Structure 1
Amino acid sequence: MKNYRYLERRNLMIRRIGLWIGEIAAAILLAFLVIQFCFQTVTVHGDSMQPAYYDGDTVLVNKLDYRFGSPKRLDAVILELENGSTTHYSVKRVIGLPGETVKIENGKIYINNKELKGFSEEEILSAGLAAYDVALEDDEYFVMGDNCNNSEDSRVSNIGNIKRSQFVGKITGTIHKAKRQ
């Protein structure tokens, strides 16, 4: 009789431990899937997105938004950029959409010959490649930093137009604001 109770308790304990291990494994798998395919945090480096995002800010990136939809004008986004053999992430804002023509003239941005309102009140000092019409293909976007006079973006040849596949996700909010100087 004692052996039977001991075996019963032991089997119950083994089942409980198995359930705990299964629940922990499921939680780890779920966390991995959420981070890999749904959301991610990124720390901003540099001043190109001021005043929206400062160096050291941590932002939440929604990766799902662009799995089911397309980037929209003025979305703040995370891009995966390759420079030779290295890959880095960059925070920019979508300015031009596929099929549009972008031009910067007299310090202002023009989309299909109409002035873009709501992006920046600051006069753009360097038009770069956009000094002439930049025609975007079906899979291309034109991006810029909010701090347009201190940003390396689609206006420079080593970045240029951004392909749809280079979008990591849309910034949905700031998790941690860095100390402002």
Structure 2
Amino acid sequence: MDTEAQHTERDPSSPADPPPDPAPDDGSRSVRVSGAPEEPDTGDTDAGHGPSWRRTGLLGATCVVFLLLLSHFVAQPFLIPSGSMEPTLQVGDRILVNKLAYRFGSEPRRGDVIVFDGTGSFVQEEPAGDPVTGLLHDTAAALGLAAPDETDFVKRVVGTGGDRVVCCDSTGRITVNGARVQEPYLTPGDRPSDVPFDIVVPPGTLWVMGDHRSQSSDSRDHLGSPGGGVVPVDQVIGRADWTVWPFGRWTTVTGTDAYDSVPPPPAGGHQVGPRGRGHG
């Protein structure tokens, strides 16, 4: 027996010779793991370098939708386009209109500063326009970036349903239900009204006036209109509660105690003479 051959034969059960050591990786080569799918090139920015343009656009659209919903149901920014409410509200002020103020059974009170849709009272017909342009404008206005619609107004409530509002008494003051009203919010130098009137406010409506009486087109200017100068309560958009821009004027639109001494209207209604525009 050839014992030397026995020693030189490889045992079948012995392991194969180890493979040669791989060349050191100097970082210039990339190794693809077997079986791992290749990721498609979507053009998105790497996760480590911030969000992609697609995600940024989606986030921006979501924020706009959220703000529009907030503006529609809760609080709407409103740009003051004129000086009819000076000094309370200045031209260019942006206010937040509280749309929940009258949603749960509450109604506007004397002295409240409100925003309302004047269609049918201050404006007889809503002006027609390009629908696309109108949609873009309404969106910008809802975010406080553009002037409000021509049918939207901001005024102060002077009389509510059943009140008799008269101008003026012997001292030149407005009276409501016979009580003289001192109006500290008026523009200095303005009289309560240069237009005499005597009206009983119909139920469910409001008599409204601007704080800058000499520069305000309000209920007095629409006495002869089909609406009689009054605004239906269901046309009220909300109550002006905050001035939010410019930052130097950031404040609440405070209420007034000017009407605290005004009594409620009589149960049987007011009996007025020929000057009165309505009867209780």
Asked if 1:84 corresponds to 2:124, the answer is: yes
CA RMSD of aligned residues (A): 3.0
Aligned length: 165
* Correspondence for 2:15: none
Is the 2:114–2:237 contact (alpha carbons within 8 Å) kept by the matching residues of 1? yes
4+ residue runs over 2 A deviation: 23-33, 84-87, 117-125
Q: What is the match of residue 97 of structure 1?
A: 160
Gaps of 5+ in 2: 1-33, 38-54, 128-149, 249-280
How far apart are 1:127 and its partner, in Å? 2.6
Deviations 1:37-91 (CA, angstroms, capped at 9, x unpaired): 1111111111110001111111111111111221111111111112233352111
Cα distance in 2 for partners of 1:34, 1:147 equals: 31
C-alpha change, 1:95 and 1:119, in structure 2 (3 Å) is: farther
Distance 2:66 2:246 in 1: 28
Query: Is the 8 Å Cα contact of residues 74 and 119 (structure 1) preserved in structure 2?
Result: no
1:166 to 213, 235, 240: 235
On the 8 A contact 1:78/1:170 being kept in 2, the answer is yes
User: Could you tell me how far 1:123 is from its partner in structure 2?
Assistant: 2.2
Give 1:118 deviation, angstroms: 3.7
Higher relative contact order by CA 8 Å / sep ≥ 6: 1 or 2?
Answer: 1
Give TM-score scaled by structure 1 length.
Answer: 0.76
Structure 2 residue corresponding to 1:71, chosen from 93, 108, 111: 108
8 Å CA contact retained: 2:168, 2:193: no
Q: Is 1:111 aligned to 2:176, yes or no?
A: yes
- 1:128-177 superposed Cα distances (whole Å, 9 cap, x missing partner): 5xx22x11122011110001121111111247011101211111111113
SS of 1:93's equivalent?
Answer: strand
**In 1, Cα distance between equivalents of 2:68 and 2:192:** 42
Mean Cα deviation higher: 136-145 or 154-163: 154-163
Percent identity, please: 26
Gaps of 5+ in 1: 7-19
Distance change (3 Å), C-alpha of 1:171 and 1:103: same
TM-score by length of 2: 0.51
C-alpha change, 1:139 and 1:119, in structure 2 (3 Å) is: farther
Q: Paired residue for 1:153, among 205, 215, 218?
A: 218
Instruction: From 32, 40, 49, give the equivalent of 2:68.
Output: 32
Report the structure number with the largest CA radius of gyration: 2
What is the CA-CA distance between 1:30 and the residue it aligns to?
4.0
Distance 1:101 1:144 in 2: 15
